[in-house]
Amino acid sequence: MTDLLTGRTQVIVGGLLPLLPHVKTGKLHALAVTTAKRWNTLPDVPTMAETLPGYEVESWFGVMAPKGTPRAIVEKLNSAVNKFLREPDMRKNFEVQGMAPSGGTPEKFDKRIRSDYERWVRVVQEAGIKIE
């Protein structure tokens, strides 16, 4: 961030939250967001997919429990998290920070984790990326 703000580097790909204040003050120019849809906090900033169709990279956060946790506990925790994410003040707070709370079911989250894992394994294999 320091190198970008001082001109030592020209471009950064990073999370919206630490960059947003600098975009709002005009110190940085946002070129694109990597999510599927434009952000309501930056409606004039296009998505990468508008230039590169199909491009979408999104960070996410989730709540997990150890394998073998009783289903009743998982469901209770999931219900509490979903209720929290529906609270208007929390939704607004997340959105201001560039986050889109979604919630859902444990199965939906499991599907997302597996899908992202398979996608990035494929990217690593196709790019021939190796650990050195």
> What is the amino acid identity at position 59?
S
Q: Tokens at residue 98, please?
A: 């560039």
Domains, the chain, with CATH or none: 1-59 (3.40.190.10), 60-132 (3.40.190.150)
Tens digits of residue pLDDT in 117-132: 999 999 999 999 998 8
Q: Are 103 and 82 in contact (CB under 8 A)?
A: yes
Residue of 96 and 81 predicted with greater confidence? 81
Does the pLDDT at position 97 exceed 80? Answer: no
- Report how far residue 89's alpha carbon sits from residue 4's, in angstroms, rounded to the nearest whole number: 33
Tens digits of residue pLDDT in 57-94: 988 899 999 999 999 999 999 999 999 999 999 988 88
> What is the amino acid identity at position 111?
K
pTM of the model: 0.76
pLDDT at 25: 93
CA geometry: angle 110, 90, 86, nearest 5 deg: 55
Tens digits of residue pLDDT in 36-55: 889 888 899 999 999 999 89
Q: 99: pLDDT confidence band, cut at 50, 70 and 90? A: confident
Does the pLDDT at position 98 exceed 80? Answer: no
